[in-house]
Structure 1
């Protein structure tokens, strides 16, 4: 399988065709998820080259469905993977695993026991426990606002409280790296909400 060509293809598509109002789900998010997935996989002891390659491909394609739809973008990303990855030498079993990983990132996340799916889910929401939480979350607020999917700042903060309270990291590494800071962000969101 020619991973590099498969990645280059989807990155070119994202660069050229994503809606400019995808302030959160833009190319930068995909690249961040690829980086975090690799870092988590290494820390989680994933060393099999094929597994690493399939995880990396899934990370590249996990939000490619935004090229065609907002709701249900995970299924659309799978459809794209099924359409183009055979041309890059991916076997049917590889493509099915990639789709399983992509679908695990649907909200609410449901990776099940599959280690690679847990890694991808944690990579996808890594920012929840990072120092750049606030600027990144503001891009999501902006993205939802232009789509009339959120009714102002108070509704947004309530959604954040619910989301952060209900979220869990799936791997020991992500929990160790991010959980404490995520809880601190949750406390900050609650403070902001109380001030309104």
Structure 2
């Protein structure tokens, strides 16, 4: 799937044009979401045609960061609507891809199964063993952009976010929920 020219185009832009301050929302995050979405979709029995739309959506979901941080999902859809017709995607398919992209907007409100999968893939790391390592990238990004001022503020934001978050798919609940709860307890212990 990554060999598709429409995916390579955006991956090259993400690799070369993203702000150096995007420590978390980097090409590595995009690829992580892509692989997580693919893994969840396989477990969830997604068809080949839906898989393609899901994975293109995963590649494009944070493309808006090429232009701006706020409301980047809307910009990602504009980019998808600009480029995907060049690769013979129908308006219907692009609408589905944009739904997938918009499902990653916080707070997540997925309306379809594919949107639930991308929502879980985008925040998959909350219930993984590399949670704190990945979280450090987000901490540094938020610090660099002035969204937070210190570690204690970060831990409180992270705790509130994790308390409000829930997984949507049976696969993510089964694979990530218990470790997410363990990570949540560790975050609680870090708050002064």
Q: Where on the TM-score scale, by shorter chain, does this alignment land: which range?
A: over 0.9
Q: What's the TM-score once normalised by structure 2's chain length?
A: 0.97
1:148 corresponds in structure 2 to: 146
Deviation by residue 1:95-130 (Cα, 9 ceiling, x = unmatched): 010001100110001102x00000000000000000
Unaligned runs of at least 5 residues, structure 1: none
**1:153: how far off?**
1.2
Rounded Cα–Cα distance in structure 2 between residues aligned with 1:64 and 1:77: 5
Q: What's the TM-score once normalised by structure 1's chain length?
A: 0.95
**1:20: how far off?**
1.0
- SS of corresponding position for 1:170: coil
Rounded Cα–Cα distance in structure 1 between residues aligned with 2:128 and 2:27: 19
Unaligned runs of at least 5 residues, structure 2: none
1:1-196 pair list within 5 angstroms: 4-46=4-46, 48-112=47-111, 114-193=112-191, 196=192
Runs of 4+ more than 6 Å apart: none
Rounded Cα–Cα distance in structure 1 between residues aligned with 2:161 and 2:177: 14
Rounded Cα–Cα distance in structure 1 between residues aligned with 2:20 and 2:151: 22
Give the root-mean-square deviation of aligned CA atoms.
1.1
Rounded Cα–Cα distance in structure 1 between residues aligned with 2:159 and 2:133: 17
Rounded Cα–Cα distance in structure 1 between residues aligned with 2:13 and 2:149: 31
